[in-house]
Structure 1
Amino acid sequence: MLTGNCVVAQSGGPTAVINNSLGGVIEAALGSEAIKEVYGARHGVLGILREDFCDLRREDPASIQGLRYTPGAALGSCRYQLKNQEDYDRLLDIFRRYNIRYFFYIGGNDSMDTAAKVNRLALEEGYDLRVIGIPKTIDNDLPQTDHCPGYGSAAKYLATSVLEMGLDLKCIVTSTKVAIVETMGRNTGWLAAATALARRRPGDAPHYIYLPEVAFDMAAFLADVERAYRQYGTALVVVSEGLVDKNGNYVFNDAATVDVFGHQRLGGLGQFLLNKIERELNLKGRVILPATSQRSAMHLASRTDAEEAWAVGRVAVEAAVKGASGQMVAIRRLEGDTYQVTYELVDLDQVANKEKKLPRAWINEQGNDVTDHFINYVRPLIQGEVSIPFPNGLPAYVNLACHPVKDPD
């Protein structure tokens, strides 16, 4: 049995349930005979490079349990790419000095790439280190897993919000009769698609949904909006921020910058489309940006999502102690009438820098809505509510004390 210390870190955009995965790791690590000290790196891999560690054994157990209902990244997150040999050499030197033998990285596509690189580094240098990736993303675009922790809660929040937006738009006597909801989703439409759950009867919003998996056609879009307005008196449409044209180019991308991983920064699509509607159709409207609420709305989180997020954290530790490394915890949906899942490991190299698209068969022929296959897939993921204490009317979210770790030298 490999004995030593462990470090866990969070990376990328937080989700409503990312702290559940952290809590699962801490709970399992504290109960393991193989793991002596349990460290948390503040702000992802940057915290390791800076030797900015928290001693998680000293945390109040009530705070650890409070992670079950607290959004944001309790350890702090980052978007940092290991760039050069100096970064790698320093990382491994720090692991050696702190006797870190277990590394758990909670994140999305780019984070899984970082975890894979750290695992390869340890193998090349002959350092006995177990590296496990823990999936997290509201975009639901990690391959090799049925779905990602964080997605179910974001889907529930967006579907509920669109349900409420539709009621608001329909009931007010005003000249503003069109609403465009722009969701996150750089290259995949899982989030936008989930708003279809808002419909309870024919004619309910959203009237149309546009996804990056289907080439966007402006003329067809304008015709759809006018059709919905003529039929229902209002038109509420949902668009993914990363819509592309027939040539694969973003329909609108006003930002010329890219992030540290080379991804173009998106934004402004909703206003671009609304300008077209007002100019071509002479209809007034508004743009609604759920923005970071999509990923931070714990008050509308899915209990199913939260429980699975905690479970993948626990499974990561249990698998590493048994000898697994260079893998990510994946969720597998079992066949049958009742929703059930199991957990397994997949190679990080099969996940890193890859994206899972919404299947074309789950999108209607016109490319402006989803099919029942998608509805049947997503509905179980939004079930249940997370129990949150509300003293004095507001959620009692927790903060970790993050007691510092002494330099071993």
Structure 2
Amino acid sequence: MEKLTGACIIGQSGGPTAVINASAQGVIQTALKADCITRVLGAAHGIKGVLEDKLYDMSQEDPAELDLLQYTPSSALGSCRYKLADPDVDDTDYKRILEIFEKYNVRYFFYNGGNDSMDTCNKISKYMQKVGYECRVMGIPKTIDNDLNGTDHCPGFASAAKYIATSCMEVWHDAHVYDTGMVTVVEIMGRHAGWLAGSAALATWAGCGPDLIYLPEVDFDMDQFINDVVSIYNKTGKCMVAVSEGIHYADGRFVSEAETSATDGFGHAQLGGLAVKLADIIKSKTGAKVRGIELSLLQRCGS
């Protein structure tokens, strides 16, 4: 592969995590030392910063401040959820990106994010090849869902998994201080991947976690769910359940009652309300004291 000489742009996209800045730090500090990279630019709020020509000259930053990125949570450069259109349908954004790349002689583009960010990388790379502009486009994995193809793990997953496991342990202890029966349903992030919900098993392994865990990779059966909960509750007077927000029926419908309430910038249904819905169903079937807990975005921010 031919060695290219020119500037590079690093951007961050999607939900911030406790460790995403460590990846940015690695790219920035390495790029500043690379003889083939003439300038290192940080995009403000991801690809939107490229489109709006809002770029930071990273060589002007205090090296000591860059060192601190390793221990700084969230997205230091700012993030976004911006979906590029199919270039065959609307190439407006791509022409603008090419204009910016040519303006700064950008030959390396790094984009730190999850599946949607990798989609952005793929689209930009193919467009640059199509128009004959030489540029290396590289995706840097980041997603708490831990579901990027070709990776054995994604930065962000471990910190989220730790938060989920410790939170489940704390909820378990809270439920077991009472001598009355109780069913607890904990809703965990994960639209299509069950790694996060599965991490609740770490709390169970430690002796204080969910009795039942439901993942989106397995079709959900409401009758079987109720039977499983009632069976454990009748035996022990307690039952703790961890459910992925993305559990769905065999026909593909999400169990979450809020599945159509809103969508994000990429058109994904914003799920929520699942724990409360399941808690209400269990209560109506058993009469037991039931509570639904949604860990929400704290899963992503926790470390």
Aligned to 2:300: 295
Shift of residue 85 of structure 1?
Answer: 1.1
Query: 2:226 matched to 1:222?
Result: yes
Aligned to 2:108: 102
Q: Name the CA distance, whole Å, in 2 between partners of 1:98 and 1:291.
A: 40
1:264-309 deviation digits (Å, cap 9, x = unpaired): 12111111101101111111122222111111113xxxxxxxxxxx
Please, which of 133, 136, 142 is the counterpart of residue 127 of structure 1?
Answer: 133
User: What SS class does the counterpart of residue 176 from structure 2 fall into?
Assistant: helix
User: What SS class does the counterpart of residue 171 from structure 1 fall into?
Assistant: coil
Shift of residue 227 of structure 1?
Answer: 2.2
* 1:265-304 matches, cutoff 5 A: 265-298=270-303
Q: Name the CA distance, whole Å, in 2 between partners of 1:295 and 1:66.
A: 20
User: What SS class does the counterpart of residue 199 from structure 2 fall into?
Assistant: helix
Aligned to 1:39: 41
TM-score normalised over the length of structure 2: 0.93
Q: Note closer, same or farther for the CA distance 1:201–1:50 as it changes in structure 2 (3 Å cut).
A: closer
Query: 2:158 matched to 1:146?
Result: no
Aligned to 1:29: 31
User: RCO greater where, 1 or 2, for CA within 8 Å and sep 6 or more?
Assistant: 1
User: Could you list the runs of 4 or more consecutive aligned residues of structure 1 that deviate by over 6 angstroms after TM superposition?
Assistant: none
Shift of residue 51 of structure 1?
Answer: 0.7
Q: Name the CA distance, whole Å, in 1 between partners of 2:223 and 2:270.
A: 26
Q: Note closer, same or farther for the CA distance 1:278–1:39 as it changes in structure 2 (3 Å cut).
A: same
Unaligned runs of 5+ in 1: 299-409
Aligned to 1:252: 256
1:225-254 deviation digits (Å, cap 9, x = unpaired): 222222333211100001111212111242
Aligned to 2:72: 70
CA contact (8 A) 2:181 2:288 kept: yes
Q: Name the CA distance, whole Å, in 2 between partners of 1:176 and 1:231.
A: 11
Q: What letter corresponds to residue 269 of structure 2 in structure 1?
A: Q
Q: What letter corresponds to residue 182 of structure 2 in structure 1?
A: K
CA contact (8 A) 1:176 1:286 kept: no
Shift of residue 263 of structure 1?
Answer: 1.4
Aligned length: 296
Q: Note closer, same or farther for the CA distance 1:201–1:152 as it changes in structure 2 (3 Å cut).
A: closer
Please, which of 163, 167, 171 is the counterpart of residue 157 of structure 1?
Answer: 163
CA contact (8 A) 2:257 2:277 kept: no
Q: Name the CA distance, whole Å, in 1 between partners of 2:220 and 2:30.
A: 46
> What is the RMSD of the two structures over their aligned residues, measured on CA atoms?
1.5
Q: What letter corresponds to residue 292 of structure 1 in structure 2?
A: L
CA contact (8 A) 1:71 1:297 kept: no
Aligned to 1:199: 204
Unaligned runs of 5+ in 2: none
